Structure 1
């Protein structure tokens, strides 16, 4: 363990690094505490850390902004695609949007019921996909505060995650199409690359992102959300791998996978069952169950996340999760008969959530005592 934030007085429900900055971390707690932290780490580049710094070495972690406003439990939060904003939902019946640079609250959307889950639309961050305790999935307009789309669900929504490959492909293609140039000998190649990139950007822009929704019965639903109108469309529902109905505790999407050689979805249920799906984004998020694991009976109410290889010579499909025995666990889906790879002590209470930074050099974990721990990867 390299660093600890231990001044929270209630259980920390969620911890998450930003999408593009390895040194920005946010966490929300059951008493309404919501904090943005700075976790300086030298990722081996030329900026900061000095020539003698080790790759991934942590500096002094500190709270950058205290995001004050919620009066009850912070149930969920999410980073915008460009990391400029944070959105949060709360049991105090409000949704808030925050400026990451200043820590100021930019928008408050008051509702009549507690809000349980929230994410930004990956292609249009003006839209927020929000679930509430009334078994509804809604899309809110960040600018106006109005609900632009609403769908009634059969069960309460307990987890949300979006496919962000479409937005990333569009951004990359647009960037590539705008960087043509060079000498006369490269004009043809540059022009071809520019046209190809523009075509890819146009193709990506035409596709609506898929939002995966986990519910209290263990089912996972696929929705598409129109990037211009915010309209929600039901696409698929699956209970593959569900033995006993249990709420989905967390959903994690990854565009790449060793085991599936493509985009995958990781679902962790509150009964300790972890399911690994391949996703057909061209079929609006249709899910194929690849493998499922039943973790120990004490691995309930935990969130799981994808994990990088634990060593330079190792290859596998790793996940990391918390446990009621105060440990952080690492598993390998490539070894379903004996998936446990490592167990790391350090916490003094049930470990609730885990998150890697985008360079996979630092792991954050949080527990029911309000402690957020930072682990430096060897």
Structure 2
């Protein structure tokens, strides 16, 4: 209980942080970091914490008026769900092996992130994407509109920024780790993709678009990390070779602005989302050629901002799913039906998202009792843990409040002990998992 009340106190201060020293963002960042530290160090019994919250809330309201971010109850009430006639996502009542991994605890207990581990503020503008290294608890990379990427070590005491990767001359829109974490590929509005060596933080390759198109997303080919896939502002999907630093001749025209990418584990099927509300499935040949197979229209007046693939929900029930965020105030789950990447809508949840690139992700272990959990950012400044087997307000099993602006990036480390979230003001918050006291 104490940890939960500490988190509420931090969230209360974070909601009002935009009002403090509006001309001095550095001071606001320093203030909220120090508040987080003090709250972690302060020891109070639950009743005193509740009294403190009431007094603190009253003082902040008297000083600043209503906060710009709504309360937890109002945020949660906006989270409703729409279920397709097909019914349950997975037969989770039979998921004995998955439950055994966590001792049969509930979804809410599994994802009780109760404290702030650290706050990074090395970026001066929005952090558009955060991602932990593959099967690694120590390294995380952040991409920002301030033209840079950063690599951080989150297990040192205290966590540190290991390097700032400089070279792009415009906003960095996305990046990806290679399978063994020795390389990072980044995309930028400057019309280049850069390949970085993690060992010495140097730039290994610069790949220029022949038409100077803006690159909006990128990812390594899962089974051949000598290739990476890019999406640009001309609606084109291209594949580049790391060794040569050149794009292959094959170009696949999607249309619109290609905003996000995902692939299955084999690297044979890719999904692409654009700003026309379309999700396009593609088959990747052995020689790297891309061939469009299927296309669905989620909504004609929205952008697809995030795609995330999961090959299984439980060890007992293989059910490939695609998690999708869109600017029509929703995020959706699609079932992958066949080897051509055909999608069928399973469930849709409402979310606060109308204009920003908000991302979501599956929980990596997917350990559950009566459901499966995903986590998403939101433009209301909250982070939502959603049990996709439930409906209505019961679907939200945890809500993290600490950001004072739209939450854009989401990433777990591989054992789910830390969750990283990034926002429009450039803050990256590391949340730690723990059991409520």
Same topology, TM > 0.5: yes
State how 1:3-22 maps to structure 2 within 5 Å. Answer: 3-22=118-137
Give 1 or 2: higher helix fraction: 2
Would the aligned equivalents of 1:298 and 1:325 in 2 still touch at CA under 8 Å? no
Deviates more, 1:338-347 or 1:89-98: 338-347
Describe the superposition over 1:254-303 as per-residue Cα deviations: whole angstroms up to 9, x where unpaired. Answer: 111149732211011122211111224x5222222211122246796421
CA deviation after TM superposition for structure 1 residue 214, in Å: 0.8
CA deviation after TM superposition for structure 1 residue 358, in Å: 1.0
Residue matched to 2:53: none
- 1:246 pairs with 2:302: yes
Would the aligned equivalents of 1:329 and 1:342 in 2 still touch at CA under 8 Å? yes
Describe the superposition over 1:68-98 as per-residue Cα deviations: whole angstroms up to 9, x where unpaired. Answer: 1111100110111222110000011111001
- 1:151 pairs with 2:206: no
Describe the superposition over 1:302-326 as per-residue Cα deviations: whole angstroms up to 9, x where unpaired. Answer: 211112689x875422121222232
State how 1:267-282 maps to structure 2 within 5 Å. Answer: 267-280=324-337, 282=338
Matched position secondary structure for 1:283: coil
Matched position secondary structure for 1:126: strand
Residue 159 (structure 2) aligned to one of 61, 72, 96: 61
1:38 to 1:245, Cα distance in 2 relative to 1, 3 A = same
Residue matched to 1:30: 145
- 1:323 pairs with 2:378: yes
Aligned equivalents of 2:142 and 2:317: distance in 1?
31
1:294 to 1:145, Cα distance in 2 relative to 1, 3 A = same
TM-score (norm. length: structure 2): 0.68
Unaligned runs of 5+ in 2: 1-115
1:23 to 1:315, Cα distance in 2 relative to 1, 3 A = farther
Would the aligned equivalents of 2:352 and 2:380 in 1 still touch at CA under 8 Å? no
Aligned equivalents of 1:327 and 1:236: distance in 2?
34
Would the aligned equivalents of 1:298 and 1:323 in 2 still touch at CA under 8 Å? no
- 1:105 pairs with 2:203: yes
Aligned equivalents of 1:3 and 1:367: distance in 2?
14
Aligned equivalents of 1:122 and 1:354: distance in 2?
20
TM-score (norm. length: structure 1): 0.78
CA deviation after TM superposition for structure 1 residue 331, in Å: 1.4
Describe the superposition over 1:150-205 as per-residue Cα deviations: whole angstroms up to 9, x where unpaired. Answer: 011232211101212x2xxxxxxxxxxxxxxxxxxxxxxxxxxxxxxxxxxxxxxx
Residue matched to 1:351: 407
1:103 to 1:376, Cα distance in 2 relative to 1, 3 A = same
- 1:140 pairs with 2:240: yes
1:297 to 1:126, Cα distance in 2 relative to 1, 3 A = closer
1:299 to 1:334, Cα distance in 2 relative to 1, 3 A = farther
Residue matched to 1:199: none
Would the aligned equivalents of 1:272 and 1:297 in 2 still touch at CA under 8 Å? yes
Matched position secondary structure for 1:284: coil
Matched position secondary structure for 1:316: coil
Would the aligned equivalents of 1:274 and 1:293 in 2 still touch at CA under 8 Å? yes
Alignment RMSD, CA only?
2.2
